[in-house]
Amino acid sequence: MFIPDSFKKMTNPRLTTGALLRYLRENTSEKAILQVAGIKTIDSKTDDSSTAMKRYRLMLSDGKSTFSSCMLGTQMNKLIETNSLKENSIVRIDRVMVNIIDKQNGRVMLMIHELEVVQSDCELIGQPAALPLTDIINNGSSINRIEATENSPVAVPATTNVIRQGSKAISTLDDRNNTKNSNNDNNRFASKSSNALDKERIVEIDTLNPYMNKWTIKARVSNKGQIRNYQNARGPGKLFSCDLVDQSGEIRATAFNADCDKFYPLLEVGGIYYIARASLKPANRQFNTLKSDYEMTWNHDTCIEACNADDGQNIPQVQFNFIPICEIANRPVNNTCDTIGVVKSTSDIQTIVSKASQKEFNKRELLLVDEKASIAVTLWGQQAEEFNGSSNPVLALKGVKIGDFGGRSLSCFNSTLICLEPSDTPRTAELRAWYDAEGKSMDLPDLSKGSDGGNRQASFKTLSQATNDGTGTSDKPDYINVKGICTLIKKESVVYMMCPEERCGKKVIDENNGTYRCEKCNKSYTNFKWAYMVSAEITDNTGSQWINVFHHEAETLLGITAEEFGKHKLNVNISY
């Protein structure tokens, strides 16, 4: 935004007087203009320095009062680090939540989830004074009012009335009246007596750890797995897992056996729930790439209560941790990841018979591309049957398994979240624009055809080292870097006629009647593509080695495209 200097000097944006107290009373919808009266750095409490994240605490001023316990969401750290947000900056608070730590002692925090810097440089406006503690604790505080009513000796059988009387301010309490769950009031009594589900003490998912003894989260179910049976040394069992998300982060939760049966029917994908009293343990990174360092197990103690959807508008639908497709080359096989790309092509449904179970499974294969690389993705069963990629949609995958077929490939679990045109990431628009402009006609390195996209981590070797250490002699491919010169190129077979079908790659047979037969597709085509397969010799100071060079690399080596080379070859053949 352009603001003339003269304007900056003459007028200060008017601050929203009284907004801080309104926020603290949970009237958080207003987008107040406030001034940053102070910034403090808070060291992260986590033990693991690799995941430590700097946090900033702001003292905000509304011109009349200041409040100093305002936590800045970490995604806005860069505003401070780039010096855009600094002392005395004027900001607009776009999304804020109240976090009550200890209401009796006025320990309340404002969590700033979204803000915009309206004016970076400014001088302190007015002479604001710290908001008195009594104002925070008393004086119309809806929190206290409800507490007082509930403790009142007057018997009030219908709790819903009590809550309505209280205030609309605590939307979480108000919502309980509106939830569809008929057991809700009963649950609430039970919760109150056992002190299990304390909605006045909501913590954010990213603060959860196994050493906290009492917490409640308010989270959306972003993904829910099927009930699965298993058998191990301890006998049979069953379980289901689901992924929980809030503004701060995401965590996986699992319930076993009786708890599985109890909670499975209560939870819906997209629903928002209060959850308290579950156990936490370190996340198993082979199967869980959610942001939390921990995962949750629901047990007989766990309390779960539905929350009205209207009260969860600021809870995201899902959080993705995308890695670029080329980065999948560096990830261990059998791990899971999140990635996003454009569906460049889609196969028909195919049926395979599982070796283990002798059962038939339907599958569909996609080619997923981003700006640097492509990879094959397999969908199974219902996910395969329902998928339609004909419009080349942007596809996000969360929790997809990394396989090593053809180098690297992806295979969806039942629990993989398959999201078409995800609206909550800027990548969707970026990929769309890139694909429509140039991506659709680009021939990118395919990780499922042994290509590494220039990104695979491989060591440098001399040719004699590679020969002597058995490189390339096992069942699985090895990847090395070699520095040498190209000493010979075999001129006989440089290009071949390739099947025009995307992802096929098979050599076609010229039927000499204008059609070209692909044995793999079992189909004849009226066209084909020229493709490189160059046999060359490379030499370094320790020896020589024949190599095959394909696609991009061959194009780089020879300086023209396979298509151009093929046309020349055709002309030469015809003229002789």
Partner DNA sequence: CCCCCCCC
Catalog residues that contact DNA under the rule CB under 7 A: 225, 228, 230, 232, 234, 237, 239, 241, 254, 256-257, 259, 281, 284, 287-288, 295, 297, 299, 350, 352-357, 359, 361, 363, 378, 380-381, 401, 403, 405, 409, 411-415
Dist CA 241 CA 253 (whole Å): 5
Dist CA 534 CA 560 (whole Å): 13
- Helix (H), strand (E) at residue 201: none
Place of tokens 């108000």: 174
- Of 180 and 355, the one with the shorter C-beta distance to DNA is 355
- Of 1 and 356, the one with the shorter C-beta distance to DNA is 356
CB of 389 to DNA, least distance (A): 16
CB of 216 to DNA, least distance (A): 20
Dist CA 184 CA 308 (whole Å): 12
Place of tokens 């696609």: 551
Residues in contact with 105: Cβ distance below 8 Å, sequence separation at least 6, in sequence order: 137
CB of 338 to DNA, least distance (A): 16
Dist CA 316 CA 492 (whole Å): 59
- Of 234 and 491, the one with the shorter C-beta distance to DNA is 234
CB of 22 to DNA, least distance (A): 42
- Of 415 and 428, the one with the shorter C-beta distance to DNA is 415
- Of 242 and 554, the one with the shorter C-beta distance to DNA is 242
CB of 457 to DNA, least distance (A): 23
Which tokens belong to 85? 């947000």
Residue type at position 385:
E
CB-based burial of residue 21 (10 Å sphere; 0-12 exposed, 13-18 middle, 19+ buried)? buried
Question: Beta-carbon neighbour count of residue 146 at 10 Å?
Answer: 20
Dist CA 75 CA 54 (whole Å): 10
Q: Using only C-alpha atoms, what is the Rg of the chain? A: 31
For residues 242 and 255, the answer to whether their CB atoms sit within 8 Å is no
- Of 229 and 541, the one with the shorter C-beta distance to DNA is 229
CB of 241 to DNA, least distance (A): 6
- Of 79 and 290, the one with the shorter C-beta distance to DNA is 290
- Of 197 and 296, the one with the shorter C-beta distance to DNA is 296
Q: How far is CA 271 from CA 216, 246, 276, in A?
A: 16, 12, 16
CB of 269 to DNA, least distance (A): 16
Cα angle value 472/325/363 (rounded, 5°): 85
CB of 276 to DNA, least distance (A): 17
Residues in contact with 536: Cβ distance below 8 Å, sequence separation at least 6, in sequence order: 486, 488, 489, 490, 546, 547, 548, 549, 557
- Of 297 and 471, the one with the shorter C-beta distance to DNA is 297
DSSP secondary structure code for residue 326 in this structure: G
For the sheet with 516-518, list strands across it.
509-510, 516-518, 523-525
Dist CA 507 CA 517 (whole Å): 9
CB of 255 to DNA, least distance (A): 8
- Of 282 and 454, the one with the shorter C-beta distance to DNA is 282
CB of 499 to DNA, least distance (A): 15
User: By three-state DSSP, how is residue 194 classified?
Assistant: helix
- Of 33 and 412, the one with the shorter C-beta distance to DNA is 412
CB of 324 to DNA, least distance (A): 22
CB of 510 to DNA, least distance (A): 25
Question: Beta-carbon neighbour count of residue 321 at 10 Å?
Answer: 13
Q: How far is CA 178 from CA 6, 262, 319, 554, in A?
A: 52, 23, 27, 66
Closest among 499, 486, 492, 450 to 559, alpha carbons compared: 486
Closest among 326, 293, 309, 314 to 447, alpha carbons compared: 326
For residues 90 and 119, the answer to whether their CB atoms sit within 8 Å is yes
CB of 361 to DNA, least distance (A): 5
Dist CA 145 CA 167 (whole Å): 8
- Of 353 and 572, the one with the shorter C-beta distance to DNA is 353
Which tokens belong to 387? 């998928």
